[in-house]
Amino acid sequence: MVTSRMAPETKHLEVTLETQVESVNLAEEMCLRLAEAAGFGEDECYRIGMSVREGVINAFHYGNKEKPEKKIHLAVDLTPEKMIIHVADEGAGFVLKDVPDPLAEENLLSTSGRGIFLMRAFMDEFDVVKAQTGGAEIVMSKRLPAPGSAQMNGNGSGGHSANPNTGA
Amino acid sequence: MALHLTPRDSGLITVVDASGRITLGDGSAMLRKTMRQLLEEGHTKIILNLADVDYIDSSGIGELVSAYTAVRSKDGELKLLHLTKKVHDLLQITKLFTVFEVYSDEGIAIRSF
């Protein structure tokens, strides 16, 4: 299901996704197109796409436990200042501070647990709140590029946070 | 783009040329299957050539780590070759550069075993 409403300054898009692997690619592709249309450069589009991907993987695997009867709720707000992405699941929720640090020596060889870290690294703001569904809702945002600056992001200097653990 | 993996022998070393994306689903599953098969066949000195892999997500990273530990458990070594910028940056921020041996020259990578 897709709904869209446009206000003079903010564009809003909502999509309800099935709990399946294909939803990860679909969400990434959709947000990539929105990011490109909003003027983000190649590097920032990559970071936004990866973050959406990781958010939906988190909802698919950890939140909804891969149960097909549950849904993943993706929403995007485009304001004049930033692109805000919400990914909500229908699971039990989680507390951000309880998520293990993947950079800790004892976790370096873990085969999972890097998704939250990557979202924090790649987005300007990141938080997890209680969703209306009762599950977890990831809220993350990226500031829009200054007009005319998008083409400069291709040189790799778009800059992700040096310390992802300081996210909002 | 689907992941393609092509193993080739270089003396006692197996070089696996990879192209495509290593992501949740088919990409990660393909890497897992190929590495398991190589180990079952007795190949324990492996170089994964990532020259044509420009996208890896957290699932793919997890699969790389899983492959690394699986090879190590057989007293073997898994080394990485020709990282693209995106993959290089990803391994750097996740500190996996401190885990994997990474090379930009195949000959040097082969002689490092």
- Which residues neighbour A65 within 8 Å (Cβ) at sequence distance 6 or greater? A91
Query: Can you tell me whether residue B44 is helix, strand or coil?
Result: coil
Domain ranges of chain A: 2-150
Share of chain A above pLDDT 70, in %: 83
Instruction: Tell me the CATH class for A2-150.
Output: alpha beta
Instruction: Quote the pLDDT of residue A146.
Output: 84
Instruction: Quote the pLDDT of residue B1.
Output: 72
Instruction: Quote the pLDDT of residue A163.
Output: 44
According to CATH, the topology of domain B4-111 is: Transcription Regulator spoIIAA (3.30.750)
Note whether B94 contacts A117, CB cutoff 8 Å: yes
Note whether A111 contacts B66, CB cutoff 8 Å: yes
Beta carbons of A61 and A20 less than 8 angstroms apart? no
Q: How far is residue A96's CA from residue A117's CA, in Å, rounded to a whole number?
A: 11
Model pLDDT for residues B13-63, shown as the tens digit of each residue: 999 999 999 999 999 999 999 999 999 999 999 999 999 999 999 999 999
Nearest CB among B25, B69, B86 relative to A46 is that of: B86
Instruction: Quote the pLDDT of residue A164.
Output: 47
Q: How far is residue A98's CA from residue A78's CA, in Å, rounded to a whole number?
A: 30
Q: What is the ipTM of this complex?
A: 0.92
Model pLDDT for residues A61-74, shown as the tens digit of each residue: 999 999 999 999 99
Nearest CB among B65, B85, B93 relative to A109 is that of: B65
Instruction: Return the axis-axis angle of helices B26-40 and B58-73, rounded to nearest 10°.
Output: 10
List beta partners, residue A6: A11
pTM of the model: 0.88
Contacts of B66 in chain A (CB under 8 A): 111
Note whether A109 contacts B57, CB cutoff 8 Å: no
Residue written as tokens 């075993």? B113
Q: Is B46 exposed, middle or buried (0-12, 13-18, 19+ CB in 10 A)?
A: buried
Residue B64 has pLDDT above 90, yes or no: yes
Instruction: Quote the pLDDT of residue A168.
Output: 33
Low-confidence ranges of chain A (pLDDT < 70): 1-8, 148-168
Instruction: Quote the pLDDT of residue A150.
Output: 52
Instruction: Quote the pLDDT of residue A133.
Output: 87
Residue B103 has pLDDT above 60, yes or no: yes
Domain ranges of chain B: 4-111
Instruction: Return the axis-axis angle of helices B58-73 and A42-58, rounded to nearest 10°.
Output: 70
Strand positions, DSSP E, chain A = 2-6, 11-18, 71-78, 82-88, 125-130, 136-143
Note whether A114 contacts B63, CB cutoff 8 Å: no
Instruction: Quote the pLDDT of residue A3.
Output: 52
Note whether A102 contacts B93, CB cutoff 8 Å: no
